[in-house]
Structure 1
Amino acid sequence: MTNDLAATIWTELAGTDFAMTTVDAGGVPTRSLQAGTGEEHVIFLHGTSGHLEAFARNLPAHAERYRCHAIDMLGHGFTGKPDLPYEIPRYRDHLLAYLDAQGIERAHLVGESLGGWVSARLAIDDPSRVASIQLLCAGGTVANPEVMERIRTSTRRAVESDDPEPTRRRMRLLMADPADATEELVAVRHLIYHRPDFVANLHNLLCLQDLETRLRNILRPEDLAEITVPTLIVWGRDNPFGEVPEATAMHAHIPGSELVLLDHCGHWPQHEAADRYNPLSLAFLAKHPVG
């Protein structure tokens, strides 16, 4: 965990050249933070109701070697929010449109939670566009009604209240140590949650927490077995949205995958354990260059 004096998005990115821009991805204005000048591209994808700031502690280290893109996914953050259910194929297609708009033929994908679900889906459906995937507490392999209700209820409560406290509780739910849910992250999340377009499309964003919809999109063992690209699975032992057996099952079904379990870590390993995750990620990426 970064110490309190450095725990702001600005200080995490200080000293790194980056650009915040909007990319037209298939007609969807997509917020993108880009850093680094390397020849290989790494795309960072956040979780449900998240935003690109989830990777502030990772971009500087990765940008020393790679061209990095942290994006707000379809319907999230400051990216466009078409009025339609955000199911996994739509996230996949939006990601492909972003790659096309940036002229990226093949990229490494780093996906946390929902972002991991989308990364795995693209690796299955179009492996020619994917150099490797990192599944950070990735969703999409189970349908746990209790967890789905926790996500749905905590998010709705935060969106419907002008008080930032429900947003603070929603962020702390992700972390093993509540201090990692910094007040700056809470402020960014609260701002996004109260944008009119976010409020209007909340039902679309939460559609994967509906059991029937989730089962239609779920990654089954036979789907995972089709993943042929190099895969790193990173899991927090204190993950409130998925227990360790979920990670070990994923590892068992994805041929040749690597699994790392992090102690004292919740649902945001890239943020909570950045000092452990960044070297791990960089070593994995170095082993699997874009061919």
Structure 2
Amino acid sequence: MSLWLDLLGVEIRYVDTPSYGRIRVAEAGRKDAPAIIFQHGIGGHLEAYCKNLLPLSDQFRCIAFDYVGHALSARKSMEYTPVTLAEQLRELLDALGLERVHLSGESLGGWVSGFFAARYPHRTMRLMLNTAAGIPIVSDKGLADMQDLMERSRKAAGSAPTYESVRHRIEWLIHPCHHDLISDELVRLRLHYYRMPEGLEVSPMVNRMLARHDEFLLPLEQIQADTLLLWTRDNPIHDLDCAKAALPRLPRGRLYVMEADSAHWPQYEAPEEFNTVARSFFGAAS
């Protein structure tokens, strides 16, 4: 199925922010419903949530967006860190007129969401860290996976990304049993974003966050929101042992391990299960 069939009924528009420029936003659901902000991974784009926005919009105001430096949001020459992107999130919420929201972030999106929740507890309702970065890597395999990701990102977002290098990068995200989900459309979409002139310039700045991962570990003890670690058994870098080690540091944390086979993109690989868990977790907020 086409990404855009999944997104039929979702509004795509642009929102201006004071410091980070024009931000592309996808939104579905009633304006007065509790809002969930979905955030993609490094080098990613809002289409990562094409299978979640509309199904969850019957109960929530569902919003995904492109981080600055990504996809069709502004590409700025700046220092990219998860702390900086948490400030982008704050400005976006201000522009959307949202005071308190639920947060669901995958990989980089979880990293940013965690910093936002620690810095702005009064604006955070519930927090889902979905195969998130920003927690200590505790295994040799995880460290090797990080080196592999850095190499794939360099090839995919370097001076001359190719169809093959981008597909290679996406294969890292998705469990081998779901590689049929890596459609020609998905590869060409990401390749288009990487080949944009501004992308060729800015992507290396974005990817430097990978090498600085341990400089920006999440202050887990400071996160006061009810927090769900949504993990998979085959998540690269931050494997299940990482999540289990991080869990006791969260004052109000719990862990859910996906039953379906999935790797780093459970919201895309197993959307029915992901959406069921999200509906239950965010719907239980008082």
Fold-level similarity (TM above 0.5): yes
Per-residue CA deviations over 1:94-144 (Å, capped at 9, x if unaligned) read 000000001100111110000001101111111011111111100011256
| Deviation of 1:258 (Å) | 1.9
SS of 2:188's equivalent in the other structure is helix
**How far off is 1:178 after superposition?**
1.2
Structure-1-length-normalised TM-score: 0.90
In the alignment, what sits opposite 2:91? 97
CA distance in 2, matches of 1:83, 1:163: 23
**CA shift for structure 1 position 145:** 4.7
Deviation larger for 34-43 or 51-60: 34-43
Distance 1:199 1:13 in 2: 27
Instruction: Provide structure 2 residue ranges, at least 5 long, that are not aligned to the other structure.
Output: none
Structure 1 unmatched runs, 5+: 1-6
Q: Equivalent residues in 2 for 1:185-264 (5 A)?
A: 185-210=186-211, 213-219=212-218, 223-263=219-259, 264=261
Q: Secondary structure at the match of 1:169?
A: helix
- In the aligned structure 1, how far is the partner of 2:163 from the partner of 2:262? 24
Instruction: Indicate if the aligned counterparts of 1:24 and 1:101 stay in contact, CA closer than 8 A.
Output: yes
In 1: Cα distance, 2:104 partner to 2:161 partner: 32
Amino acid at match of 2:151: T
Q: CA RMSD in A?
A: 1.5
- Are positions 1:86 and 2:80 aligned together? yes
TM-score, with length taken from structure 2: 0.92
Matched AA of 1:257? G
Matches of 1:141 and 1:241, distance apart in 2: 10
Q: Secondary structure at the match of 1:203?
A: helix
Alignment of 1:32 onto 2:25? yes
Q: Which amino acid aligns with 2:26?
A: L
CA contact (8 A) 1:26 1:94 kept: no
- 1:193 and 1:154 map into 2 onto residues whose CA distance is 13
Q: Residue 30 of structure 1: CA displacement?
A: 0.3
Provide the secondary structure at the position in 1 that maps to 2:222. coil
Do 1:74 and 1:86's aligned partners in 2 also have CA atoms closer than 8 Å? no
Deviation at 1:147, TM superposition (A): 3.0
Q: CA deviation at 1:162?
A: 5.0
- Give 1:156's aligned amino acid: R
Cα pair 1:42 1:66 within 8 Å, conserved: yes
Cα pair 1:48 1:113 within 8 Å, conserved: yes
Question: What secondary structure does 2:173 align onto?
Answer: coil
